[in-house]
Amino acid sequence: MATGSRTVRPRSSVWLSERKTPKRKGDQQPVGLDHLKIVAATMRLLDAEGMSGFSMRRLAAELGVTAMSVYWYVETKDHLLELALDAAMGEIALPIEAVGPVEGFAGPPAEPRDWREQLRQVATEYRRVLVRHPWLPALLGEYLNIGPNAVVFQKAALAVMRNSGLPDDRITSALSLVYQFVYGFGTIEGRFAARCRAEGVTQDELFHEMMSSVEDRLEYDEARQFMKARGGTTVQEMHDRDFTFALDLAIAGIEALKER
């Protein structure tokens, strides 16, 4: 794609690459290694040390192989991170009504649920995975996110929103409202949890330490009053209450605009 005198090329994606397993003279395919093991180890390392602690050498050491062994299966670090991104998207439990029957399941079909319940499940599951993997938000903004699990997620979310009765030209806008809310909420929640783990304290301990440090500051009086009114005895309860009510507001807004 040309822009003036400059040519802009999109980042190569593992999902669009036709490259096969590389074989260079003298190389031998490593024994006991495959894509699944490499991606699982990548996610464990990212969970434990974050993006700043991740490298192909560090991953190879985690797997007990050489860095070149990893390159038998992935062309670049970017491609590997794309694979980890899609694997994380595959952890989102989607409404069965939105993804269709599960292969091999012989039971009766599930009773169709209201679209609001389905949307709450999509949003809650998305939040859970964002918090579980604090490195995920950065990758969502960096890569195309067009892997098979991401495609299933997108199709399910579209099916849920279509059931709301919104016209087609408003569905992606409504989903953007939900996506961006959950993305922001889950990102901050996940980063706070990761910081607590790094500090070796619980979320409640760090929260109370932070609140104690400003208890004598008059400019925080109003904020303390609202925090008290919010309720919840633990940080997790506070997050859950805020998330649930904010999601209810989003759904109520979609319902209200649907009627206009």
**CA–CA distance, 54 with 259 (Å, rounded to integer):** 49
Q: What is the pLDDT along the chain (260 residues), one digit of tens a residue?
A: 555 556 656 568 999 987 555 554 445 566 678 889 999 999 999 999 999 999 999 999 999 999 889 998 999 999 999 999 999 999 999 998 777 654 443 444 445 679 999 999 999 999 999 999 999 999 998 998 999 999 999 999 999 999 999 999 999 999 999 999 999 999 999 999 999 999 999 999 999 998 888 888 887 788 778 877 877 789 999 999 999 999 999 999 999 988 77
pLDDT at 226: 80
Residue whose token pair is 């209450």 = 241
What radius of gyration, in Å, describes the C-alpha atoms of the chain? 22
**CA–CA distance, 146 with 86 (Å, rounded to integer):** 8
**CA–CA distance, 92 with 106 (Å, rounded to integer):** 23
pLDDT at 19: 59
Pick from 220, 221, 96, 115: nearest CA to 178: 115
pLDDT at 112: 63
Pick from 72, 255, 78, 101: nearest CA to 177: 255
Element (H, E) at 42: helix 35-49
3-state secondary structure of 34: coil
**CA–CA distance, 129 with 132 (Å, rounded to integer):** 5
Residues 6+ apart with CB under 8 A from 26: none
Residue whose token pair is 């925080």 = 220
3-state secondary structure of 3: strand
pLDDT at 129: 98
**CA–CA distance, 190 with 132 (Å, rounded to integer):** 7
pLDDT at 257: 86
pTM of structure: 0.86
3-state secondary structure 92-159: CCCCHHHHCCCCCCCCCCCCCCCHHHHHHHHHHHHHHHHHHCCCHHHHHHHCCCCCHHHHHHHHHHHH
pLDDT at 229: 81
pLDDT at 26: 47
The number of beta carbons lying within 10 Å of the beta carbon of residue 156 is 21
pLDDT at 216: 82
pLDDT at 215: 82
pLDDT at 99: 76
Strand partners, 99: none
Instruction: Give the Å distances, CA to CA, from 6 to 1, 2, 13, 29, 142.
Output: 9, 6, 21, 40, 22
